[in-house]
Structure 1
Amino acid sequence: MRLTHLGGPTVLVEVDGWRILTDPTFDPPGRRYAFGWGTSSRKTAGPALAADEVGPVDVVLLSHDHHADNLDDAGRTALASAGVVVTTAAGARRLGNGALGLRAGEETVLSEPGKSSLTVRATPCRHGPPLSRPIVGPVVGFALRLGDQRRTALWMTGDTVLHGPLRRTADELDVDVALVHLGLVRFPITGPLRYSMDGKDAVELIAALEPRVAAPVHYEGWSHFSEPPAHLREAIAAAPPAVRERVVWLEPGAAREV
C-alpha cells in the first residue's frame, strides 16, 4: 500500500490497483470557515498537491460533507472528476450525482475490471460530546476489504472522539493500515468540550486495534486543533513499544510505502 498525505485528513491511498482519496481538501490557506452554532476555524496550511496534480481517483471516502476541514470548496469541485463517492446517508442526499450513502454498520461492494472487489464498510463516529450529533451532524469512518480477504486493508477512523462504539470497532477489526484522525478539536464558544481525539486517545486506540501500521492524520493545518503537533509526537514517543513501533509519520506530498 502507498500513502501520500496531502494535508489535513486528505490522503491518497493506492492499493491493489485502486486509487482512493480520503476527505478531499484543496483550498489555499488563510480563509475562515463557519461550522455552525457559532463555531469556525481558519485554514492555516494548504495542500501539498493541488487537485489536478493528484491524478485519477477511483473512490473518494468522505467521512462527512458539512465541515470544510473535511470537504472544502476545491475538494467539492474535485468530486466531479472522481469515480465513486462514498459518504454518510445524509451527505449522499446533499451531494447527489450518484454519491453512495452509508450509515455505520452498512457496507457496499465496488468493482472495476481487472481489480479485486473493494468492500467499503461504514464505521461509527461521534464527532463531539454525548448527545451532540443533532448539532455536529452524522460522521462515519470506513473499513476496506479487498476481494474475499477477511482482514481489513485500511481503516480510516473519521473525525471522532474515543467512545464505546469506536472501542468496540477496534476490538472487532483485524486491520493492516489505520489512518487515525486526531488534533483534539475545540472551539472557544464550547470551552473544554472535545470534538476529536488527542495523542493519549490515539495511544489507547492503537493499543486496542494492533494494526500493522497506524498513521496519524488530520492534526494540523486548521486553527481549531488544540493539541500542538509536538505534544502529539511526545505522546506517541512515550507510548509502549507495541504502540510506538506501529506508528508511521507521513510527510505531506511524499509517497510512503507501508
Structure 2
Amino acid sequence: MQITQLRNATIVVAYDDCRILVDPMLADQGAIPPFKWLTGQRRRNPIVPLPAGTADHLAGITHALITHCRKGHVDHLDRAGTRWLRERDVPVLCMPGDADFLRRRGLDVQPLNAAGSTPFRNGIITPIPCRHGEGWIGRFMMHGYGYHIEQADAPSVYIAGDTVLTIDVRRCITERRPDVSVVPAGGASMDFGAELIMDDEQVLALAQLGSGVFIANHLEALDHCPVRRATLRQRAEQLGLSSRLQVPEDGEALTFTRA
C-alpha cells in the first residue's frame, strides 16, 4: 500500500488494483479566498501550488473518498476537484448526509453505511465521527467523519478527517489500533474562536497513544494553518517519536507493507 501526500488533506491511498483519492482540493494556487481576514497580510488559498507530478499521481484513480464537503469546506472538495471527478465519472464514497449535495453536482455517489461498516474491495470501511472545532465555533462547522479502512492484503489505515482530539479519535487509535493513521496537524483557526483541527501538541499526544505510524497533513497549504512541518518534526524528535510520525512534503509517497 502506498499513501501519497498531494496538498493539504488531499491524499491518494493506492492498493494493487485500487487508487482512492481523498478530499480533492485541486484548485490553482490563490484561486480560493482567504479564511483569515483580520491579518496584516491576507493570503488567498491554497497558498502553495499542487506539487510537480500531480497528474501522474492522479492517473488511474478508481474511487474518491470524501470526509466532509458541505458548509463551505472547499479545502476538502473544491470546484476543481468536483469537476475532475465528474469529468472522469469517478465513484465517490461518502456519508449519507453528503450524498444529495454531491449528486446535485453530477457526481457518481456511493454512500457508506452510517451505522457501521461497509464492504469495500477485500475488506471494510468504517466511519469514525469527527469534531471539527470546540465551543461556539464548532456549532458553525460541518463535523464530518474519518474512516478506518481494513483490507485483507494491506495495512489498516485510519484517515482522521478534520477533527480535534476527541474520545472517538482516541478510541479508534487505542481499540482499533490502525497500522497507519493520517491526521490533520495544522492547528487551523479562524479570526476568532478555538482551533478547528489538531495542532502539533494534540498530534504528538495522539501518537504517544498509538502503536502504528502516523502521517501528519493539513500543513503549509492554507492561510489559517500555522503549524510548520519543521516544528512538528523537531518536537517529534525531542519526544522520541521520529520513527513513528511521518511529516511528508507535498508530492511525497510513503510505502507500507502488511506485517
Could you say which residue in structure 1 is the equivalent of 2:254?
Answer: 256
Which residue identity lines up with residue 154 of structure 1 in the other structure?
V
Tell me if 1:135 matches 2:140.
yes
Compute the displacement of 1:69 (Å). 1.1
Which residue identity lines up with residue 210 of structure 1 in the other structure?
S
Compute the displacement of 1:78 (Å). 2.0
The superposition leaves residues 206-246 of structure 1 with CA deviations (integer Å, 9 ceiling, x where unpaired) of 121211x211111221101022333222222222x3x3321
Contact 2:220 2:226 in 1 (8 A): no
Could you say which residue in structure 2 is the equivalent of 1:74?
Answer: 80
Could you say which residue in structure 2 is the equivalent of 1:60?
Answer: 64
2:128 is paired with a residue whose SS is strand
Compute the displacement of 1:17 (Å). 2.3
Bigger drift between 66-75 and 132-141 goes to: 132-141
> What is the rounded CA distance, in whole Å, between the counterparts of 1:198 and 1:181 in structure 2?
8
2:140 is paired with a residue whose SS is helix
1:33 is paired with a residue whose SS is coil
Could you say which residue in structure 2 is the equivalent of 1:177?
Answer: 180
Bigger drift between 9-18 and 131-140 goes to: 131-140
The superposition leaves residues 75-99 of structure 1 with CA deviations (integer Å, 9 ceiling, x where unpaired) of 1112222543122322112102442
1:46 is paired with a residue whose SS is coil
Could you say which residue in structure 2 is the equivalent of 1:85?
Answer: 92
The runs of 5 or more residues in structure 2 that have no matched partner are none
> What is the rounded CA distance, in whole Å, between the counterparts of 1:105 and 1:123 in structure 2?
10
Compute the displacement of 1:53 (Å). 5.6
The superposition leaves residues 36-72 of structure 1 with CA deviations (integer Å, 9 ceiling, x where unpaired) of xx9x963201211445761121221211113111111
Could you say which residue in structure 1 is the equivalent of 2:169?
Answer: 166
Judging changes above 3 Å, is the alpha-carbon distance between structure 1 residues 82 and 219 closer, same or farther for their aligned structure 2 residues? farther
Contact 1:154 1:179 in 2 (8 A): yes
Q: 1:106 pairs with 92, 111, 116, which one?
A: 116
Judging changes above 3 Å, is the alpha-carbon distance between structure 1 residues 185 and 74 closer, same or farther for their aligned structure 2 residues? same
Could you say which residue in structure 2 is the equivalent of 1:123?
Answer: 128
Q: TM-score, length-normalised on structure 2?
A: 0.83
> What is the rounded CA distance, in whole Å, between the counterparts of 2:237 and 2:33 in structure 1?
33
Judging changes above 3 Å, is the alpha-carbon distance between structure 1 residues 118 and 77 closer, same or farther for their aligned structure 2 residues? farther
1:42 is paired with a residue whose SS is coil
Contact 1:51 1:78 in 2 (8 A): no
1:236 is paired with a residue whose SS is helix
> What is the rounded CA distance, in whole Å, between the counterparts of 2:149 and 2:124 in structure 1?
6
Which residue identity lines up with residue 179 of structure 1 in the other structure?
V
Bigger drift between 41-50 and 120-129 goes to: 41-50
2:189 is paired with a residue whose SS is coil
The runs of 5 or more residues in structure 1 that have no matched partner are 112-116
Q: TM-score, length-normalised on structure 1?
A: 0.84
Which residue identity lines up with residue 249 of structure 2 in the other structure?
E
Q: 1:156 pairs with 159, 169, 173, which one?
A: 159
1:210 is paired with a residue whose SS is coil
1:136 is paired with a residue whose SS is coil
Q: Tell me which protein shows more strand as a share of its residues.
A: 1
Q: 2:102 pairs with 88, 95, 99, which one?
A: 95
1:75 is paired with a residue whose SS is helix
Contact 1:104 1:123 in 2 (8 A): no
2:236 is paired with a residue whose SS is helix
Query: Runs of at least 4 residues of structure 1 off by over 6 A?
Result: none
Judging changes above 3 Å, is the alpha-carbon distance between structure 1 residues 107 and 100 closer, same or farther for their aligned structure 2 residues? farther
Aligned length: 244
